[in-house]
Structures are given as C-alpha cells and as structure tokens.
Amino acid sequence: MPQIALNEIEATVAAALQRHGAVPWIAASVARAVRKAEAVGNRICGLYYLESYCRQLHSGRVKGDVEPVVSRPRPGAVVVDALFGFAQPAFERALPEAVAAARECGVASLAVGHAHTCTSLGYFTEQIAREGLIGLGMTNASPIVAPPGGNTRVIGTNPIAFSVPDGAGGRAMQFDQSTTTVALGKITMAKAAGEQIPEGWAIDAEGRPTTDPAAAIGGSLVSLGGPKGWGFGLMAELLAAGMTGGVVSRDVRPLKAPEGAPHDLGQYYLLMDPGTSDAFFDRLQQVVDAVALDEGARMPGQGKQDRDPVELEPAVWQQTLGLAGLA
C-alpha cells in the first residue's frame, strides 16, 4: 500500500475542496482536520469523508465560501454562526474570542451553530487544551439510537470529547467517543467491506441483537452502558441543539447524502481555565502517577504519536487524487 506524507495529504485535500467550490482559507482549514484524522489513524473522520465533502460542495448542501459570524453576547458566552458552512473554519474563527473569554471569566462556552458535521470532535477540544484550557465538547448527528426498551430512533451517536492541558502547551489526556457502543462509521465501513459486526453493537428494526451491519443501519445502535450512555447521549443532544440553535437529531438527514438540506448541526464547547484553582496541575500529576503504577496502563490519549507518512488503501488515495484533478 502507498505511504503518503501528511503534507501531501493536506495539500491534495485542500486542492480537491477548492476544485469543488471552497475558497482557499476554508479548504485549508478542513484539510488540516483531515490531515490530523489520518495522522492518528481515525479513518472514519479522514479521507473517508472527502468525497462527500466535495459532492456536497458541488450540490450546495455545504457552503464553501461563507464567512462565519462571531459574537459575544455575554462575557462568558461566545457564539459563531457557521452559515451552513464547514464546522472547522467556524471554530477557527471563534476560538481566539472563546479563549479570551475563558481567561477573563474562568469558564466560557463556545456555541457553533448552523454547521456541517465536525467529524472528529477531539480535534477541536485538543486545540482548546493546547491553549492551556480544559476543553469539553459535544455534538449530535443523524438519528440512529433508540431509547432503552424502545425501537424508535431518537438521537444520534452524539459524541463527547474532553481534553486536558499539561501546563506546557500540550495535552495530558484526551478522549473522544460516541455515546453509543461504537461509532456509526465503523458499521458503515463493515457493511462496505462485507463484514459482520460483533453482537452488542446494534439491534435490528424489531429490537433484536444483530451482527448484520445492514440490519444495524436499519435498526438502532446500542447506547454505551445502556441507560447510562443513553443519558450522556441526551445531554449531548440538548446542549448541541438547544444551546446553538442547531437541529435535533430527528431532523438531521443522512450526513453523507450528496444533496438535500444543510446539516444545520451544532457543536457546544466549554472552556475552563485550570488556573482558577492552584491545585489542578498537582492533582493531575497525582492521577497520572497513580495510573502509571500498573505497567501498560495509561491516561486516555497518552503516548499517541502522529504517523507520517501514512499507509493508505490504493483505492482511497486514487480517489483523493481524482477529486483533486490529479489522476
């Protein structure tokens, strides 16, 4: 399989997005997110999404030439209207104001409204952590999860991400996970590959456990930990939609469909200044040291390194080159 440098991946993705209607700074912003996803092996948030980005730019389902509008209606609240464009450039434009608000107030919120799917939520909370702040983020998605005991899909996989600074410009820990047992992308990839899925990931339309990815997509994913994960999914739903003006999951059309209404999703972030407590980094170190007592144990995200170059499936890279007009 070809080994492709991250710089080449980023440049090719940016070229593909511009070719399909994104202005240069927006294409560059999205390309950086795709680069990061590929660097950490997050395939479902990387080049896997590029074709749909391009097709939706062409159809107008996502706007590639809008200027996000940033406002600060209250001292600790920052709002950005993505205007049905990509989430990455909207967050990029709003982050400096949100960081300033958090440093002034101790805690601040950042509400990104009317945006395209953000794909990897941890990509954004990590940026918050690298500013020296604790970042908590959540979003919603197209409906694929029924409540425990029910069959009607009400919410999406509704991920939550949490990133903690290390006090030296990096991050000490990070997790980014759906509130379902598994992300929907893993099931769609299994379906495309003709593979079965493990029992416990999903139920079919009649509420029966299934190992068939097609039946899972026609049924419901299972909340992580049952009712406990369902509660976290609802928390993400209410904050991501209610605090941003985005749609609820029931009104989100399939995210990769080339045509249709804009995603109109919201992402909601809390930025917390650890400097409001003189104990935070001491307690963080105590926890890190305790985790390290067992060989092989680690904090979430600890020790992960970006890969460069990245090994890609030949068909994936050929498609990428084709979208950029280079093949």
| CA angle at 174 for the pair 276 and 317, rounded to the nearest 5° | 140
The Cβ of residue 88 has, within 10 Å, a number of other Cβ atoms equal to 25
Mean pLDDT of 57-65: 98
CA distances from 106 to 87, 137, 265, 301, 320 (A): 25, 17, 27, 25, 43
Q: What is the pLDDT of residues 241-294, one digit of tens each?
A: 999 999 999 999 999 999 999 999 999 999 999 999 999 999 999 999 999 999
Q: What's the pLDDT band for 182 if we cut at 50, 70, 90?
A: confident
| CA angle at 46 for the pair 241 and 242, rounded to the nearest 5° | 5
* Per-residue model confidence (pLDDT) at position 271: 98
* Per-residue model confidence (pLDDT) at position 240: 98
**HEC readout, 154-192:** CECCCCEEEEEECCCCCEEEEEEECCECCCHHHHHHHHH
* Per-residue model confidence (pLDDT) at position 206: 85
Quote the strand ranges of the chain, DSSP E: 3-4, 69-74, 77-85, 107-115, 134-139, 160-165, 171-177, 202-203, 209-210, 220-221, 265-272, 310-311
Check if the beta carbon of residue 315 is closer than 8 Å to that of residue 6: no
Q: What's the pLDDT band for 57 if we cut at 50, 70, 90?
A: very high
Rounded Cα distance, 121 and 74, in Å: 25
Check if the beta carbon of residue 164 is closer than 8 Å to that of residue 175: no
Check if the beta carbon of residue 241 is closer than 8 Å to that of residue 247: yes
Residue 305 has pLDDT above 90, yes or no: no
pLDDT over 70 percentage in the chain: 100
Q: What is the pLDDT of residues 96-126, one digit of tens each?
A: 999 999 999 999 999 999 999 999 999 999 9
CA distances from 166 to 32, 49, 255, 280 (A): 23, 31, 35, 10
Check if the beta carbon of residue 81 is closer than 8 Å to that of residue 112: no
Mean pLDDT of 39-44: 92
Rounded Cα distance, 70 and 6, in Å: 31
Residues 6+ apart with CB under 8 A from 208: none
Mean pLDDT of 235-244: 98
